[in-house]
Amino acid sequence: MKGLTVLGSTGSIGISTLDVVARHPGRYQVMALTANRDVEGLFAQCLQFNPKIAVMADETAAADLANRLWRAGNHTEVLSGLVGLEEAASMPDSEYVMAAIVGAAGLLPALAAVRAGKRLLLANKEALVVSGRLFMQEAAAHGAVILPIDSEHNAVFQCMPDDFTNGLNACGVKRILLTASGGPFRTTKLDELAHVTPEQACDHPNWEMGKKISVDSATMMNKGLEVIEAHWLFHAEPENIQVVLHPQSVIHSMVEYADGSVLAQLGNPDMRTPIAHALAWPERVESGVASLNLFDVARLDFAEPDMQRFPCLRLAFEAVAAGGTAPAVLNAANEVAVAAFLEGRLGFLGIAELVERVLQKNEVQPTENLEQLLDIDHQARRMAEQMLAQRV
């Protein structure tokens, strides 16, 4: 049996991961589960999977969870904070670590797993967006294996040759085609976007996701972050990555080869497919996902993204081209902007505007170390909050 830690187990990716694991009781053993403040959710998961360790990022929530587990007669050890998260990520009994903590908060726990040489199932975009070069260097130094969980990157991984780490040209790959649904506002009139509500932005037509990632999908910042991820995961230059609007979300991404061949990975839009692939790789296991019925799909549509409609995608391409600290600034400003939008402090169109203003105010620096990147992240967030305050 393979030991597994799930970082962010009460989120959508974490829940889907445990659904797959429950289908294979003799194959995986859950060793550690973590959550932010969802005591009720983590308590139920602890009763079902009986991990050795449960971690709450919030200390008060951890005390509540420990009390509930004690009264239920469960002996799971409860830890809290970053120290607890890093311990769960690096514990010797866990060979596999699912990194599904949303946002920059997931960076340090994911890095702890890499430094412990784990098989890292990476669902946290920000680990590579904020610290791509350093993160990949640490993985190489410690023998960690990184398997992407984003449906797009997992699809690319499945379509890539085994030697892609030598560079795209060396293995005959011409470009990566990242598909994107276009979110809920793909065809909305531009003059109506100013009035978009958080509820509308979170109503994704194809995927069930958390609020933050749903808003990122609506602005297509999510796809922009995926471009940056693909740059690091597959050793691909930005000019070799193209975003393709595909509203059906049936083709999850494609790889074009030098001979003109295009390989694509297809399936129903369900995150359990890439999760099961990464958990079992290089084998295949049942995921619980329904078979794809091409007769029901009937048609597949494709279009180029409109950068006027999706300025966040443009900003992400500009950030990865600029390199250095630019992606970290982009991510930090976007997290502040999305939170403000969800709280009603910023309009939908204000998300891209705020991110662009913060990027313009920050001089791009070469990346040096993790401490520098965390400081840049903090400064960009503070600047974004100050700009928000000035708008009131």
Strand partners, 251: 266
Residue 98, in any domain of the structure: yes
Q: What is the mean pLDDT of the chain?
A: 94
Q: What is the CATH number of the domain that holds 32?
A: 3.40.50.720
Cα distance between the two ends of the chain: 55
Residue 336, in any domain of the structure: no
- Number of helices and strands (H, E) in the chain? 16, 11
- Alpha-carbon torsion, ordered 173, 174, 179, 182, to 10 deg: 160
pLDDT at position 392: 52
pLDDT at position 65: 97
Contact call for residues 267 and 109 (beta carbons, < 8 A) = no
Confidence of residue 296 (pLDDT cuts 50, 70, 90): very high
Residue 112, in any domain of the structure: yes
290 and 201 share a domain?
yes
68 and 13 share a domain?
yes
Q: Of 307, 330, 345, which residue sits at a domain end?
A: 307
Residue 159, in any domain of the structure: yes
Residue 175: DSSP 8-state? E
Q: Is the pLDDT of residue 207 over 80?
A: no
Euclidean distance between CA atoms 194 and 348, whole angstroms = 6
Structure tokens belonging to residue 76:
């799971």
Euclidean distance between CA atoms 310 and 315, whole angstroms = 9
- Which phi and psi angles does 117 have, rounded to 5°? 70, 30
105-163: pLDDT as tens digits: 889 999 999 999 999 999 988 889 999 999 999 999 999 999 999 999 999 999 999 88
141 and 164 share a domain?
no
286 and 156 share a domain?
yes
377-391: pLDDT as tens digits: 999 999 999 999 987
Contact call for residues 29 and 56 (beta carbons, < 8 A) = no
Q: Of 307, 341, 376, which residue sits at a domain end?
A: 307
Contact call for residues 211 and 197 (beta carbons, < 8 A) = no
pLDDT at position 330: 97
Average pLDDT over residues 215-233: 95
pLDDT at position 355: 98
61 and 78 share a domain?
yes
275 and 169 share a domain?
yes
121 and 236 share a domain?
no
Q: Beta-carbon neighbour count of residue 390 at 10 Å?
A: 7
pTM of the model: 0.92
pLDDT at position 211: 87
11 and 112 share a domain?
yes
Euclidean distance between CA atoms 248 and 302, whole angstroms = 9
Q: Of 245, 280, 307, which residue sits at a domain end?
A: 307
Residue 157, in any domain of the structure: yes
240 and 135 share a domain?
no
Residue 279, in any domain of the structure: yes
Mean pLDDT check: name the lowest of 114-123, 208-217, 250-259, 305-314: 208-217
118 and 179 share a domain?
no
- Alpha-carbon torsion, ordered 193, 225, 248, 285, to 10 deg: -150
Structure tokens belonging to residue 175:
């470009």
Euclidean distance between CA atoms 98 and 376, whole angstroms = 26
Please state the length of the chain: 392
Residue 298, in any domain of the structure: yes
Average pLDDT over residues 303-307: 94
87 and 171 share a domain?
no
Residue 106, in any domain of the structure: yes
253-271: pLDDT as tens digits: 999 999 999 999 999 999 9
166-192: pLDDT as tens digits: 888 889 999 999 999 998 999 899 899
Confidence of residue 224 (pLDDT cuts 50, 70, 90): very high
Average pLDDT over residues 238-250: 95
Q: Beta-carbon neighbour count of residue 296 at 10 Å?
A: 7
Hunting for tokens 């200390």 — which residue is that? 59
| Residue ranges making up the domain that contains 127 | 2-148
12-52: pLDDT as tens digits: 999 999 999 999 999 999 999 999 999 999 999 999 999 99
Confidence of residue 213 (pLDDT cuts 50, 70, 90): confident
Looking at the 3D structure of the chain, how many domains does it have? 2
14 and 41 share a domain?
yes
